Structure 1
Amino acid sequence: MNNFSGTIPPEIGNLTNLIYLDLRINQISGSIPSQIGSLVKLQILFIFDNHLNGPIPGEIGQLRSLTKLSLGGNFLSSIQASFGNLNNLSLLYLYGKLSGPIPSELGNLKNLNDLGLFYNQLSSPIPRELGNLKNLNYLALSNNQLFGPIPSVLGNLKNLKYLILSNNQLTDPIPSELGNLKNLSLLELSNNQLTGSIPSSFVNLRNLKNLILADNNLTEEIPSFICNLTSLIGLDLLRNILKGKIQQCLGNISSPQYVMMSHNNLSGELPPSNRNLTSLKVLDLGRNNLKGAIPQCFGNMSGHLEVLDMQHNNLFGTLPTAFRIGSALRSFNLHGNRLEGKIPLSLENCQRLEVLDLGDNLLNDTFPMWLGTLPELRVLSLRSNKLHGPIRTSGSEYMFHELLILDVSCNDFMGNLPTSLFQHFRAMRKIDPSKKPPSDDEVGYYQNSIAVVTKGIVLEVVRILFLYNTIDLSNNKFEGHVPIESLDLSGNHLVGEIPAQFASLTFLAFLNLSYNHLEGCIPQGPQFHTFENNSYEGNDGLRGFPLSEGCGNDGHDSVSEETYAGSALDEESNSEFLNDFWKGALMGYGTGLCIGLSIIYILISTGNMKWLPRIIEELEHKIVMGRRKKQRRQRNYRRRNNRF
């Protein structure tokens, strides 16, 4: 990599004695000149990760001495059939923007060891001729638009170690001939439309380390022999229609690191002991039909277990209590079961814990303020349990500093909302652009998900640690005032006018609406008169006090008695409602977040939804009566001042 720019000159064809040409990872643009076909002695050609475009010249088929060719990461438009003439080729990588079919002539490359045509827009069946590539070790056709069945002749590739066909539109059952690939280390067929059962011939895949069949339409029972594959490290069967007893797999599995089988129809009870799972890092069995008590041994496994997801099953009993000091646990999700008892204090030992979701259970406890000491905790969901009592804060300043989602709705919490609790939520006040989600291509990657209620709609949010900031305190028995004194919506793309009701938020000590696209008149009222120019700067369409551009008679020194009286009346009409029912506040929208979602959504209620129509009806009545009262006062004011 030398950061070259410009184009490949046609004169390159004059270098007829050239053996090695490496132009990878530069800023080269334009098309590949046809004269490159004159380099008849060329053995290695690397031009990947540039800005080349146009078709691949058919003249490349003249490079009979070529052993390694990579043109990936460009904007080339098609694969030439002439590639089938490159008889000495051992490595061929073409990834990027290629379209059209896979040429059957590639089956002529008898010396090919590696064939990578991934991340393109190739649209065709997989050519049967690829079954002729007997020396192939690596075949990756993932992330294309390939369709039709997987050719059974791929079972002839006895030297194949990696077969990656994921993220296509492949159909029909998995051919049993793939069980002949005894050297196979990775088989990835996820995110297709494959049907039928897992072939029994897979019992022969004794060297298989990762079996990834997620996101298909596979049915029948999970074959028990899969758990006897002694080399297996990762088993990913997520989101299929598989059924069967779970213990036949977990009881025999040898030394896996990742077992992910959520979103299936698995049943049965979890085995009481899993002594063989000494290397397990991820266990995801959520959204099945599992039943029985949750094994206490999961607490003892926390020294190596990083993810335990059993959400939406029929598990009962109490939570594991023996979480070790130095626990590796990052995500603990038992949402939607029938668990009882208290939240175990030993969870305080899980200092790496990021996600704790115990919602929709029968837990009976007080608020676990001690969880606030966990330095990495980002998600805490305790919704829909039997939690009770006041939420009392600790004297420590270091509580819940990384928390992004807090959901304690639908419990029996009571008393005043602790002001100091909200002051601890430092991570909710800003967006860290350096934090990015892990790559989808990482083998065994587990995606955290959690149910978030927004505007009455339950959404399952994936990658929650990087997108959402949410607080939900609804359906409890909280009292008193909302302990929020700051509203910061700066640095976003908000449009329209500032709602007039904002002037009635008498508890606001700080307001920042700067650098948006707001317009119209700034609402006037006692509280708004305390905010300075910097609260509104960067909004070219705003007018009125405290900005220099006036909005009628709303300048601070020229606010008429009529305007002030009307504003005060609006405050009188709305403040009681806003004090009783503060539906939500949008705080801390981070600048530069391209997805544009950072929400603090606060809901406070009395625990009985029947009050909602009454409050709305009272609000409508107050608004109508307030307008009439305002009109009467304005008429009286005009009469007193002879302004008919």
Structure 2
Amino acid sequence: MELDISDNAIDAVATIEGIKNLSHLENLHLDDVHLKHVGTVVRALGALSSLRILSLQYNTVEGIITTQDFRNFSKLEQLILDGSPLNTSRGILSSLGPSTSLRLLSSSNTGLSGNLSDHGLCNLVKLQELDLSFNGITGRLPTCWRNMSSIRILNLEDNEFTDSVMSSPLSSLTSLEFLSTSSNHFDIPSSLRPLANHSRLKVLILDDTKLTIDTTVASLIPRLQLKVLSMSNSPSRGFKLTSLGFLNNQHDLRILDLSSNDIQGPFPAWLLQNNTKLEKLFMENNLFTTFKVPSMTLFNLSFMDISNNNIRGKLSTEFWANVPNLSYLNLSANRLEGNIPSELGSMKSLYILDLSSNNFSAGLPIQILLDLCHLNVAYNKLQGEIVLSDHTMNPCLSHLRLTANMSSLMALDLSKNQLDGLIPQELYNLGWLEYLDLSDNNLSGPLPSLFISQRMLHIHLSRNKLNGTLVHALSNSSYLVTLDLSENEFFGSIPYWLGNLSQLTILSLKGNSFYGTFPEQLCRLKSLSMIDLSENNLFGPLPSCLGPLNLSKDYTDKVTSTMNNEIHMIGWPSRPYVRSIKNNREIYHMKMKGEFQAPHIVGFTTKRRFDSYKGYALLKMVGLLLSCNQFSGEIPLEIAILQEMLVLNLSHNKLTGHIPMSLSSLTKIESIDLSYNNLIGSIPEELTQLNSLEIFNVSYNDLSGAIPNKYQFGAFDESSYYGNHLLCGLPLSKKCSTTINTFYISFGVSYTMVGLVIPVVLFINPQWRQRWFHHVELVITTCQSLFITCYYFVQDNFQKLSRGQTF
């Protein structure tokens, strides 16, 4: 009998009271019900004498559990606590002693920390599956684990264990079928000698594990024959593999991941020759120089990722015939050159092909478009015009990154090539198109009046030669999230309809010839995360409506909506040799999920360099960039209302007035650039409160006074203040005390000298004295004459005006 009341807002204690008389209940799920008073609940559940499976996942458990609370669970076989931050977790584990029937214990991501004691888990003599992953457990493995002879599945991923596998209990657990020690501090020989006798071990996950070089050659051939081996590394952890000799005796591999290591030389074709049942191969981020597969048919190979290596030369035509069932191939970020082989069209099973970021030239063979559904050839040297043709496209084509004209097309990326000509108006017919990237090409001409569908979310057309105005080109794009038209030749005013794009989050019009005043309609866009209008011909004052603009970070759902469809064929396959452990299917699904997500690259200049913000990095990029225009007037005080702002660049304009003291309210700001303006006054001392500020530039203004020198302001160099002749103090060489004293002394001495010298000279020289008094008399007479003239002029004209006469 089974009962599942998960995902409900219930009174757990009252509910348990209602079901504790269900004496035949065997399977109970109380996931995500916000359990409290867990001791009371567990004691009540003890009345369920037939209970075999108890799941308490995703709860915030409170209370105390003792050994006595589990005394009646004599038949409990599975206890699942995943995702519940147990503040009594150690008590739960140590209270399981009497439950000797327990076969599966899963306590992943429950906040466990500290060392594992030798008691508690050691009493679970029948335990077969143990998951302690994603916790903070430290120290060595308990020595009593050597007696856990029944354990088949052990997941210790992402903890802080420090142990030598050579001397740890792991070397004695020969019943293991699945073992993951990823992201710990285990020390394991690169030859895997401690596991040589684990003949039942089929899945071994050693990602980000500290491997030590082991040159010892075992006298006996290892008994283990793995089906899944993963030894990938991140840049900052683990010892990177340079030799694959330890795989010489493996002949039954189905999934192999050796990504992000330092493996050099030619691609190891012998691995494929030895493991003819291999299905998925991850070898990205290594140092391979050539690519060749064995001259044999590999019927089982369906997934192959050799991206981001150093592979040179042309693609061999032999490869395509030897992998007839390949469905995913990623050769991106290498140095491959020449033409893209037309033989790719003969691979009828090929579903996803990524050849981006290479040096392929000429055009794309039409043959390869017949069966592909996902194609990426961006960042190559392809030439010619964009030609759309219905009869050459596969109807399943939904993620094409070269050229297409099918109604199911959702993403089109032709960026970083040498394409020229006009943008086809036929793009409007792609009713499902959501992502378009034609940036970094030589496209020219205006945008077509019917250019995109109303479903479009992301448009990237930067760094082309597009021109004309934007009067109506995109006015129907009411769902736009990203619009990047930077570094083209557009002109005219910024169109009013931009204010109607309520979902717009990223707007970059940098490096064009737009003119006019700041478009106040942009102030209506409450979802904006970044505005870049720099390097245009905009003029006039900055509007006060910039304050209510409220730059937002709400970009998560919008940026992930495109190209995040399931790629189920990439995920970890179902395997009869590992029956339970829940995380297996997700490990590689999560790893590969982002393979074909839209990159969403937006570039702009900040922190004195050009940055490209890509994908989720845009979540953190909140900025206002208006540099290199003709804006005038004072900086609006309301600009400080933009609390989420990280980057403010108003440089190279004609702004006047003082630096607003209110900028100190921008507590998250990282970069402020106000250089090359006409700002006056002192630098507000309050700005030293901006703890996140990394870049501050006010050079070439008319600022004066002492430079603040507290906190991070002491780290800014003199280039931040160049061109302000009345600024003083560090980091400038001009000392404030010397400058101020010298000014006042020279001023006082000068006027004292003038006051003394004139009377002395007039007293000594009668002729000069006569001329001096004549000059003074002339000035007085002139002033009186002017005053009288002005008086009669006003009086006379006032009388005429009162009589109705004209002037």
Q: TM-score, normalised by structure 2?
A: 0.57
Q: Does 1:248 align with 2:365?
A: yes
Partner of residue 259, structure 2: 142
CA distances 1:79-134 after superposition (whole Å, capped 9, x unpaired) = 44131221222211222332235898798466422112223623333425536544
CA distances 1:268-319 after superposition (whole Å, capped 9, x unpaired) = 2222336737412443332222222222233332x43333222221112332
Letter paired with 2:339: E
Q: CA deviation at 1:583?
A: 13
- Which runs of structure 2 are paired with 1:224-239 in the superposition (5 Å)? 224-226=342-344, 229-239=347-357
Partner of residue 477, structure 2: 350
The structure 1 residue matched to 2:543, chosen from 400, 412, 418, is 418
Q: Does 1:49 align with 2:49?
A: no
Letter paired with 2:228: D
Letter paired with 1:56: V
Q: Does 1:114 align with 2:233?
A: no
Give, in whole Å, the separation in 1 of the partners of 2:497 and 2:360: 40
Q: Does 1:471 align with 2:621?
A: no
Q: Does 1:296 align with 2:425?
A: yes
Aligned residues of 1:486 and 1:508 also touching (Cα < 8 A): no
Q: Percent identity?
A: 25
Letter paired with 2:130: D
Change (3 A) 1:629 1:148: same
Give, in whole Å, the separation in 2 of the partners of 1:150 and 1:506: 63
Give, in whole Å, the separation in 2 of the partners of 1:65 and 1:617: 71
Q: Does 1:220 align with 2:332?
A: no
Aligned residues of 1:262 and 1:284 also touching (Cα < 8 A): yes
Q: Does 1:67 align with 2:191?
A: no
Change (3 A) 1:467 1:17: closer
CA distances 1:157-206 after superposition (whole Å, capped 9, x unpaired) = 232221112223x2221222398433333211222223333343442444
Aligned residues of 1:140 and 1:163 also touching (Cα < 8 A): yes
Letter paired with 2:177: T
Give, in whole Å, the separation in 2 of the partners of 1:455 and 1:60: 50
Partner of residue 318, structure 1: 446
The structure 1 residue matched to 2:196, chosen from 62, 71, 84, is 84
Partner of residue 306, structure 1: 434
Letter paired with 1:217: R
Greater shift, 119-128 or 431-440, is seen at 431-440
Change (3 A) 1:491 1:12: same
Aligned residues of 2:382 and 2:419 also touching (Cα < 8 A): yes
Q: Which runs of 5 or more structure 2 residues have no equivalent in the other structure? A: 1-105, 400-409, 561-589, 647-655, 669-674, 702-720, 729-733, 754-807
3-state secondary structure, aligned to 1:122: coil
Letter paired with 2:494: F
- Which runs of structure 2 are paired with 1:79-228 in the superposition (5 Å)? 79=189, 80-101=192-213, 108=222, 111-119=225-233, 121-128=238-245, 130=247, 132-156=249-273, 157-168=275-286, 170-177=287-294, 180-204=297-321, 205-226=323-344
Give, in whole Å, the separation in 2 of the partners of 1:322 and 1:392: 24
Aligned residues of 1:47 and 1:72 also touching (Cα < 8 A): yes
Partner of residue 387, structure 1: 514
Change (3 A) 1:53 1:402: same
Q: CA deviation at 1:460?
A: 3.5
CA distances 1:445-488 after superposition (whole Å, capped 9, x unpaired) = 33332331237644444455234333333444444444344547
Q: CA deviation at 1:426?
A: 0.7
Aligned residues of 1:244 and 1:265 also touching (Cα < 8 A): yes
Aligned residues of 1:467 and 1:597 also touching (Cα < 8 A): no
Give, in whole Å, the separation in 1 of the partners of 2:295 and 2:682: 61
Relative contact order higher in (CA < 8 Å, ≥ 6 apart): 1
3-state secondary structure, aligned to 1:173: coil
Q: Does 1:261 align with 2:377?
A: yes
The structure 2 residue matched to 1:284, chosen from 413, 417, 437, is 413
Change (3 A) 1:470 1:64: closer
CA distances 1:218-244 after superposition (whole Å, capped 9, x unpaired) = 23332233355444443333333x222
Give, in whole Å, the separation in 2 of the partners of 1:582 and 1:260: 54
The structure 1 residue matched to 2:128, chosen from 20, 27, 31, is 20
Give, in whole Å, the separation in 2 of the partners of 1:236 and 1:116: 23
- Which runs of structure 2 are paired with 1:537-576 in the superposition (5 Å)? none
Letter paired with 2:244: P
Give, in whole Å, the separation in 1 of the partners of 2:440 and 2:294: 36
Give, in whole Å, the separation in 1 of the partners of 2:677 and 2:491: 34
Change (3 A) 1:575 1:336: closer
Give, in whole Å, the separation in 1 of the partners of 2:502 and 2:688: 21
Letter paired with 1:288: N
Q: Which runs of 5 or more structure 1 residues have no equivalent in the other structure? A: 494-503, 517-573, 606-615, 640-644
Aligned residues of 1:56 and 1:78 also touching (Cα < 8 A): yes
Give, in whole Å, the separation in 1 of the partners of 2:173 and 2:727: 84
Change (3 A) 1:70 1:261: same
Greater shift, 118-127 or 76-85, is seen at 118-127
Give, in whole Å, the separation in 2 of the partners of 1:637 and 1:50: 78
Change (3 A) 1:77 1:323: farther
Greater shift, 128-137 or 210-219, is seen at 128-137
Change (3 A) 1:251 1:138: closer
Q: CA deviation at 1:70?
A: 2.2
Change (3 A) 1:201 1:353: farther
Change (3 A) 1:357 1:492: closer
Give, in whole Å, the separation in 2 of the partners of 1:638 and 1:514: 48
Letter paired with 1:364: F
Change (3 A) 1:42 1:583: same
Give, in whole Å, the separation in 1 of the partners of 2:221 and 2:309: 24
Q: CA deviation at 1:145?
A: 3.7
Change (3 A) 1:224 1:121: farther
Task: Give the length in aligned residue pairs.
Answer: 545
Give, in whole Å, the separation in 2 of the partners of 1:32 and 1:221: 55
Give, in whole Å, the separation in 2 of the partners of 1:94 and 1:155: 21
Q: CA deviation at 1:20?
A: 0.6
The structure 1 residue matched to 2:532, chosen from 397, 400, 407, is 407
Partner of residue 603, structure 2: 451
CA distances 1:499-525 after superposition (whole Å, capped 9, x unpaired) = xxxxx9558474536989xxxxxxxxx
Partner of residue 6, structure 2: none
Give, in whole Å, the separation in 2 of the partners of 1:230 and 1:110: 36
Partner of residue 678, structure 2: 577
Q: CA deviation at 1:343?
A: 2.7
Give, in whole Å, the separation in 2 of the partners of 1:597 and 1:160: 52
Q: CA deviation at 1:443?
A: 1.6
The structure with the larger Rg is 2
Change (3 A) 1:617 1:76: closer
CA RMSD of superposed structures (Å): 4.7
Partner of residue 101, structure 2: none
